[in-house]
């Protein structure tokens, strides 16, 4: 079997690039690899986003994106991010919760409203995504 898939990097529309970059860098801990005005690429542990400065009337307007990131330890990640999350308004993030569909997850919205969930399988789903990347 040929392994041709490497990773997925969703595009998120943003209204103000510098505000978005500060959020992904300073709140979520992503490294900024490319910042070319209307386009940026941020990455953390093989998870990446491509940020595009877009107008509200565009095909994919700012705030219309949603990504789910499966993680190894959702509570440890939340503990790491919590001090930065607490600098945001309370309606922009939520603490980890067990969901009825077998995931423990927390969520955060970027300055434009794009939603990012971080989660891990629990119960019968506990080992659903327990694998290591194999190049």
pLDDT on residue 6: 65
Q: Average model confidence (pLDDT) for the chain?
A: 86
Which residues pair with residue 57 across a beta bridge?
A: none
User: In CATH, what class is 11-56+66-125?
Assistant: alpha beta
pLDDT on residue 57: 64
In this prediction, residues 97-119 reach a mean pLDDT of 93
Which pTM value belongs to this model?
A: 0.81
**Band of residue 102 on the pLDDT scale cut at 50, 70, 90:** confident
Angle at 72 between CA 114 and CA 86, to 5 degrees: 45
Three-state secondary structure string covering the chain: CCCCCCCCCCEEEECCHHHHHHHHHHHCCCEEEEECCCEEEEEECCEEEEEEECCCCCCCCCCCCEEEEECCCHHHHHHHHHHHHCCCCHHHEEEEEECCCCEEEEEEECCCCCEEEEEEECHHHCCCCCCCCCC
Tokens read off for 25: 């860098």
Q: Is the pLDDT of residue 106 over 60?
A: yes
Closest Cα partner for 11 from 57, 62, 55?
62
Tens digits of residue pLDDT in 35-67: 997 899 999 988 899 999 987 666 667 878 899
What residues does each domain of the chain span?
11-56+66-125
In this prediction, residues 22-29 reach a mean pLDDT of 96
């Amino acid at each position: 079997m040929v392994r041709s898939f490497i990773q997925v990097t969703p595009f998120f529309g943003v209204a103000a690039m510098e505000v978005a970059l500060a959020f992904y860098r300073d709140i979520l801990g992503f490294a900024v690899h490319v910042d070319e005005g209307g386009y940026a690429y941020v990455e953390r542990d093989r998870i990446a986003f491509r940020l595009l400065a877009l107008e509200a009337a565009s095909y994919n307007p700012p705030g219309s994106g949603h990504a789910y990131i499966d993680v190894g330890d959702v509570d440890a990640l939340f503990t790491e991010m919590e001090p930065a999350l607490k600098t945001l308004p309370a309606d922009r993030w939520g603490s980890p919760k067990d969901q009825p569909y077998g995931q423990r997850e927390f969520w955060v919205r970027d300055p434009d409203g794009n939603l990012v969930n971080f989660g891990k399988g629990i119960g019968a789903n506990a080992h659903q995504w327990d694998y290591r990347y194999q190049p």
